[in-house]
Amino acid sequence: MKDISIAVIGAGFMGNLLARAASELPYARVVAVADVDTRRAQSMAEQFGCPYYADTEDLLHHHHPTAVFIATPEFDHLKPTLAAAQAGCHVFVEKPIATTHHEAQQMITACHEAGVKLMVGHILRFEPSYALLYSAIVEGSIGKFLSAYARRIASINEARRLNGRISPLLYIGVHDIDQMLWYHPVPVKSVYARPLYGRVWEEFKTFDSAWVMLEFEDGALGVHEVGWCLPETWAKWETPKSWGGFGDVRMNVIGSHGNLALDFTPMDVYGVGMSGWMLPDTRHWPTLHGKVTGAVKNEVEHFLTCLLEDHPPLVTGEDGLRALDVVLAAEASIVENKIVPMSTIV
């Protein structure tokens, strides 16, 4: 019996992926899809055997799902979240929670006042290797947290897919910022960031990559290198199609009594064919025997379990806001060319 009904707002890649992961669980079903691109909404609705709509309000007028999965572009998270909360639906929203502090706070307040759960899709918390780093840190295995370094470099094709609508900091950098805040839950005192300019800048006037330094109030540091400046040939293979490419991804944590390291540039599997070397994603959303698995399945299952058992989610709206604020401080630092105190981000 599929007791949890789900509506999906945004029928792009992540919307489809989240819907698949949910529908493959024995207790969940997708009952409706909405997207401003009705052709895309129709295509996804046919996949799940449900109706489609052009907007959230129309969908919620005809359906009352248990939960709404919001996978619209990051600048369009507020309106569907407010509508879902007003309708009494629990909300899962893709990262980043929003693009401004004020909109994120509105979303948090609306869900709180409606008595519905709000979870932000910071998927790395549900990837076992990242979670193992967390458990080692909280158990004191490396002593006092001193610093963390994260690298997340994607292909230039990712920047082209987004057509310059957003910086790599807000789109992918927020992943690792959230991880650092999770690993070291101490307020961030200040942020300093410097951009680098290359082909992405030439095409879209969006910086190619950036280096970011976080200073925590206890003196610990976080350093993040983020961008989408890998060449087109990074993941150019056409077959096997199931071998989706990823990027150059790492996380190192240094403590007073030990170090932790994660390298996802090769995710355990290598291949080489006529197109060159192949480094598939085996962690985030690989397909196993026709079903979505990996971190995205863990994430979706966690959210739905929270609804079934009435538990707070691992990634709350407040968590999403904290990560967003650090990214906003980093982007302000780039514009102003100075260290930005977190106290100025409101």
Closest CA to 75 of 159, 176, 179, 167: 167
Three-class SS state of 203:
helix
pLDDT at 2: 65
Across the chain, where does the E strand assignment appear? Answer: 4-9, 28-34, 52-53, 67-70, 90-94, 118-121, 145-155, 188-196, 209-216, 221-230, 248-255, 258-263, 271-273, 276-278, 287-288, 291-292, 340-341
Please give the Cα distance from 60 to 89 (Å, whole number): 9
Three-class SS state of 168:
helix
pTM above threshold 0.75 = yes
pLDDT at 255: 98
> For each successive 10 residues of the chain (346 residues), what is the average pLDDT?
88 96 95 97 97 96 97 97 98 98 98 98 97 97 98 94 93 97 98 97 95 98 96 82 84 98 86 80 84 93 97 98 98 97 92
**CB–CB of 80/9 below 8 Å?**
yes
Three-class SS state of 113:
helix
pLDDT at 1: 45
157 to 200, 207, 285: CA distances (angstroms): 10, 14, 19
pLDDT at 238: 77
